[in-house]
Structure 1
Amino acid sequence: MTFPAFFAQVPPILLRDPLAEFLGAAEGGLIEYRYADAVRLAGHSCPTVAGAYLLASRALGCLYGSEVPRRGNFHVSCGDSLDEGVTGVIASVLTLLTGAAGSGGFKGLAGQHSRRNLLAFGQGGGGTFTFRRLDDGSAVTLSLDLSSVPPDPRMGGLLQALLSGEASEADGRDFRHLWQDRVRRILLEHWDDPALVHIRSA
């Protein structure tokens, strides 16, 4: 498996998962997630997956500061419904990184480590994502805006040619390069750009 080289340059997200520690899956419960893990989950790399990864990193930093965030210690509310736009894609990445799951999530052990019903939709206003810590109730609301990292102007024509079956092999290579280059710019050149993730107290 060969991913684009820039995947390895994206900052990782270190989490402590008490359930993983309890079951012996990770020493001390420490698990490092990388952008490639989000790509494996989604099955592709796109601005939405990149934005979700960035959104989660920013939220965890707001709620934990320099501490290692505790996976499974979050309730996540998505402002839009599950089937609206790219909400479902973003939510799947947020589940990966926070442990917050819907009704099908892990129900816990003797009342501990439950991940079920910690992910909700249609709450808090369209386009927003609210992360709330279960232990102290602190919360932050974020929204994602990728418009300041626009696609290359050639993307539209190349995409149409590919979908219609009229594209050459060179067109395909150009499209793939330009597509992933936007992802690269989002995650590397704009990782700390406040224009991409808007933050407010919940």
Structure 2
Amino acid sequence: MSYPVFFNQVRKITVHDPLAQLLGANSDGNIEYSYTDAVKLAGHSCPTVAGAYLMTLKALESLYKGQTPQRGGVKVKFRDGLDEGVAGVIANIVSLLTGCAAEGGFKGLGGNYVRRDLLMFNAPLNDQVLFQRMDTGATVSVSYHPEIVPLEPSVMGLLRKILAGQAQAGEKEEFANGWQDRVRRILEQIDNPELVVCS
């Protein structure tokens, strides 16, 4: 199985999951996630998947400021409804990285390690997503602006040919390379405050 090289060049996210430690999933409860993990969950790599990963990374860095984030210790609210736009895709990746879940999530053990009802939609927010630490109440709001890294116009032309069943094999490969080139350029802007705006 081969992925583009840049997938593993993206800054990784390490979290501490006390439930994983308690249940023996690993000895210290620390879990490292990469952009490749987000791609595996989504089944594809695109600007939305990249944005979900980056928004979560930047939110956790802001909330924990040099400390290891606590998986299961963050509540997340979305401005959009679950079925609006790409909110559901983003929420799946946020859930992977933070442990938060909607009503179908883990119910906990003796009132501890509860993961359900930590992921909400249709919240009255100005920004896209709000992350909140459950121990301190600290919050950070984030919005993602992939438009600052535009797609080459020729790539959309190739996509139209593919969807119309008119593309040759070489054109399909050219499209895939062009599509992932934009994702790469987005991820290279990881620390650009205009890409993921935190407030």
Give the shorter-chain TM-score range: over 0.9
State how far apart, in whole Å, the 2-side matches of 1:112 and 1:15 are: 18
Which TM-score applies when normalising by structure 1?
0.97
Which residue identity does 2:57 align to in structure 1?
S
- Identity among equivalent positions (%) equals 50
Assess if the C-alpha contact under 8 Å between 2:127 and 2:141 holds in 1. Answer: no
Matched residue SS, 1:67? coil
**Letter of the 1:124 counterpart:** P
Alignment pair present for 1:85 and 2:88: no
**Letter of the aligned partner of 2:22 in structure 1?**
F
Deviation of residue 124 (structure 1)?
Answer: 2.9
Whole-angstrom CA distance in 2 between matches of 1:36 and 1:27: 23
Aligned Cα root-mean-square deviation (Å): 0.9
TM-score between both structures, scaled by the size of structure 2: 0.98
Contact 2:149/2:185 (<8 A) preserved = yes
Say if 2:153 is the partner of 1:153.
Answer: yes
Q: Take 1:4 and 1:38, find their aligned partners in 2: how far apart are those partners?
A: 14
Between 1:122-131 and 1:132-141, the stretch displaced more is 122-131
Q: Distance in 2 between matches of 1:124 and 1:100?
A: 19
What are the superposed Cα offsets for residues 111-161 of structure 1, whole Å, 9 maximum, x if unpaired? 000000000000033651000001110011111111100111111110000
Within-5 A mapping of 1:122-133: 122-125=122-125, 128-133=128-133
Are 1:80 and 1:127, in contact at CA under 8 Å, matched by a contact in 2? Answer: no
- SS of 2:147's equivalent in the other structure is coil
User: For 2:39 and 2:21, how far apart are their aligned partners in 1?
Assistant: 25
Instruction: Check the 8 A contact 1:143/1:197 in 2, yes or no.
Output: yes
Paired residues, number: 199
Other-structure match for 2:38? 38
| Residue aligning to 2:69 | 69
Gaps of 5+ in 2: none
State the secondary structure of the residue aligned to 2:153: coil
State the alpha-carbon separation in 2 of the partners of residues 20 and 141 from structure 1.
Answer: 27
Matched, 1:49 2:76: no
Superposed, which structure 2 residues align to 1:1-202 within 5 Å?
A: 1-125=1-125, 128-188=128-188, 190-200=189-199
